[in-house]
Structure 1
Amino acid sequence: MGAEPFPDLPALAKHLREELDQKKFVLLYAYNGTGKTRLSTSFKDLGKKVDESGEVTERDTLYFNAFTEDLFQWDNDLANDHERVLKINQDSRFFAGLGELEMDNRIRPLLSRYVDFEFEIDTDAWEVSFARETRQKKDDGTYETIREDDIKVSRGEENIFIWCFFLAIVQLALDSAEAYKWVKYIYIDDPISSLDDNNAVMVAHHLAQLMTGSHEGLRVVISTHHVLFFNVLCNELKKSRRYFLSKRLQDDGFALHETDSTPFLYHLASLVELHEAMKSGALYTHHFNMLRRVMEQTACFFGYAKWDECIKAEGDDPNQTVYKRVIDLMSHGDYSLYEPREMLPDNKEHFGRILRQFITRHPFSPALFPNEAT
């Protein structure tokens, strides 16, 4: 997997736009804290035109990220604890044409795949109310349906509602609805932060279905920290460009690692990142944390009783106990990814030996580690 460096997020966002001149879809995987949400903002900002007064006159990106979720805020009716509604930010262009487009009817078939509650959008008050019907057994053994209005749904249910709201708007953009003819790009960042694996698969599959049957002119970027979600999209969108996005700690930049030609899994991406850090010499104390996580996952896969069975040293290396102690010490320290500390020379040497022996001992694809002696 090659790695292409970028000095900052605007440069990376510009590159993604150039990629989309050739490809309809770009998929990005990145760990939390890498800068996915900030990248989506940089991408969006490149498509803005602003007049002399600072007013945005043109834009080209319909996006979903953490800021999209912030367009909805709960009014919990603290005084009476009865009429709880989800308020909509009417100043956002995200909701252009809300009153005329019958969004209730567009959202409902999307939402019914995932949840069992009802909702109603009040376009005059700019709020959403929720209700749920349940069946309760009566004293005579029969059942009756009880409707509870103005409920507050769970955080996960709220997120999936907002996601389906967004999908309904995406469909309008794909159908070239007048209110969304300005959309040239769709940028989706981490839509499934509160979903379990089963729903993650469903969301990814449904999203891919929607996009592959879409308007040829629109281009799409999807970024996520969820491995399963990413892999499902890779399988569904086979002609997409796929990247692993990482930070370059040595210069505060970023790197795109192409993953088109190899299967992508979290532990493999971590292992490749560690190998490249070892080769460059840019090793930081938090890399021991990453290495231990990879070993724990590998131990589970191979059925080892303990993770340290992954660091059985070669016959002529007496340092297995030392290696375990080094990993224990360095992975339990207060070594933050956001305040990286470079390893001491001795620890770099230990790390390199441990990693090389780990890669050699386990049957990873040699294509993941070019120029590594076997």
Structure 2
Amino acid sequence: MNELNFSSLDAVSTQLRDVLDNGIQRGNKTLTINQVLLFAYNGTGKTRLSMAFKDIGKQDDNRDTLYFNAFTEDLFRWDNDLENDEQRVLKLNQDSRFFNGLQELEMENRIRPLLRRYADFDFIIDYQNSVVSFTREITGEAGAEIVEHIKVSRGEENIFIWCFFLAVAQLAVDQQEAYDWVKYLYIDDPISSLDDNNAIAVACHLAQLLKNANGTIKTVISSHHTLFFNVMWNELNEKKKLQPYFLSFDKATQAYKLRYTNSTPFFHHVALLEQLYQASESGGLFTYHFNILRSILEKTATFHGFKNFSACIEQGDDDPDGVLHARIINILSHGNYSLFEPMEMTDENKGHFRRILNNFLNNYRFNPELFPEAEAQEEPLAHQEQTEQLAETN
């Protein structure tokens, strides 16, 4: 089974539940599956799929899925105290079962250790009024002081809501009575508004929770974020109980396609290349992009039978042995230039990066619709510099 077609997202949801409940057939063996990992581009219907999955398990007042998606984030809304501009709080929708028995479960003590991994602000939950207020310690000339009722950024808000969900999910994994109805977790794009640093951290911490679940709760994770998807794959695949899919929608046939691969998903390197190309086009290049580029070059070199990724770097007149750019990639993908310390490239390194990337895209054939301008930007950096020097001379 490499590809399945479905007429609706309800049908896709039924398939995912079947895979988690009954496993998959490989030859004469039935393999147990604890997690399904979905990659899908924005607009495919990931959020709608998560709700369809949830609705299948909802009968009268009974349900079986604890989910995180855009609707989960909507359970939290800001009261900005527009009249006085002083008491800004995040209000909780108490009509949702998501907030069952918060005070008895001492949620602050469960959320705070998670939040400290990502953020430098603190919070207080007012259970009586169902609101959360945020504080931050500020150091000024008079020393340190606590500023209350702060409005956190969108990214910080998302981190807080994510930590809130993780704390609830841990209760479900521990089979705590208030959440003993949870049979499935469905997590859709938990890293919106986060930088790559936090995206990696979120993926690692989520993977640890799911490993500890040990199959007591089955999980579906969907994302459009290639880096997050890759980390989840690497973290969870070690026990061989992970099923990866690429979800797409064919407008011509109006069918949803669920594509499976039995190794690192084949589409991932293309999605990563698209991400690098878009960053190159926008100018938003950071040193961690060299990490991603190096990974792609290494996989390409292995596929073509080369011993070193430098074999995939086009040799130019100014660098006949490809040594310069190989050294640049080596330096900028190690040491302090890591995924955990995002740092914007210098203009010079951006030039090197674009040249390596565009030459690679032109040397190895990819769908030109994904990278329409790469060929036009093929002009070597050395030739550009010669042209600029001639212009100055004239």
TM-score (norm 2): 0.68
Do the aligned residues in 1 keep the contact of 2:155 with 2:193 (CA within 8 Å)? Answer: yes
Give 3-state SS (helix, strand or coil) of 1:213's partner.
helix
Q: 1:254 aligns with which of 253, 256, 272?
A: 256
**Other-structure match for 1:228:** 227
Distance change in 2, residues 1:118/1:197 (3 Å)? same
Corresponding residue to 1:97 among 101, 112, 116: 101
Change (3 A) 1:270 1:35: farther
Consecutive unaligned residues in structure 2, runs of 5 or more: 24-32, 282-291, 298-312, 314-352, 376-394
In structure 1, C-alpha distance between the alignment counterparts of 2:116 and 2:214, rounded to whole Å: 24
Partner of residue 27, structure 1: 37
C-alpha contact (below 8 Å) 1:131/1:147 kept by paired residues: yes
2:172 aligns with 173
Q: Which of 46, 54, 77 is the equivalent residue of 1:44?
A: 54
Once the two structures are TM-superposed, the CA of residue 293 in structure 1 deviates from its matched residue by: 6.7
- For the residue of structure 2 that corresponds to 1:151, the secondary structure is coil
Q: Aligned-pair distance for 1:308?
A: 8.5
**Quick check: 1:3 aligned with 2:7?**
no
The residue aligned with 2:149 is 150
Mapped partners of 1:264, 1:181: distance in 2 = 38
Question: What amino acid sits opposite 2:41 in the alignment?
Answer: Y
Aligned-pair distance for 1:263? 4.6
**Counterpart residue number, 1:16:** 16
CA contact (8 A) 1:243 1:260 kept: no
In the TM superposition, 1:285-364 aligns within 5 A as 302=313, 305=355, 307=358, 310=361
Deviation at 1:60, TM superposition (A): 0.3
**Partner letter of residue 132 of structure 2?**
V
Q: Residue 10 of structure 1 aligns to which amino acid in structure 2?
A: D
* In the alignment, structure 1 residue 210 sits paired with structure 2 residue 212: no
What code does the residue aligned with 2:97 have?
R
C-alpha change, 1:304 and 1:127, in structure 2 (3 Å) is closer
Tell me if structure 1 keeps the 8 A contact 2:121–2:136: yes
Cα 1:264–1:148 shift into 2, 3 Å: farther
Question: Residues 125 and 131 of structure 2 are in contact (CA less than 8 Å); yes or no, is this contact kept in structure 1?
Answer: yes
Moved over 6 A (4+): 292-298
CA deviation vs aligned residue, 1:312-357 (integer Å, no higher than 9, x gap): 899xxxxxxxx99xx69x969xxxxxxxxxxxxxxxxxxxxx9xxx
| Secondary structure of the corresponding residue to residue 101 of structure 1 | coil
Match of 1:201 in 2: 200
Q: Cα gap change, 1:97/1:264 in structure 2, threshold over 3 Å: closer, same or farther?
A: farther
SS at match of 1:81: coil
Any idea what the Cα deviations from partners look like across 1:279-328, whole Å, max 9, x if unmatched? xxxxxxxxxx99x9799899x965664848845899xxxxxxxx99xx69
C-alpha distance in 1, partners of 2:6/2:155? 35
**Alignment identity in percent?**
55
Return the alpha-carbon distance in structure 1 between the equivalents of residues 130 and 201 of structure 2: 29
Candidates 78, 84, 90, aligned match of 1:86: 90
Which letter does structure 2 place at the counterpart of 1:49?
Answer: Q
> Mean Cα displacement is larger for which, 63-72 or 231-240?
231-240
Highest relative contact order (Cα 8 Å, sep 6+), 1 or 2? Answer: 1
Residue 294 to residue 196, structure 1, CA distance change in 2 (3 Å): closer
Structure-1 residue corresponding to 2:342: none
**Which 10-residue stretch deviates more, 214-223 or 124-133?**
214-223
Contact 2:233–2:264 (8 Å) recurs in 1: no
- Partner of 2:132, secondary structure, is strand
Q: 2:343 maps to what in 1? A: none
The count of residues paired between Structure 1 and Structure 2 equals 293
Match of 1:120 among 119, 124, 136: 124
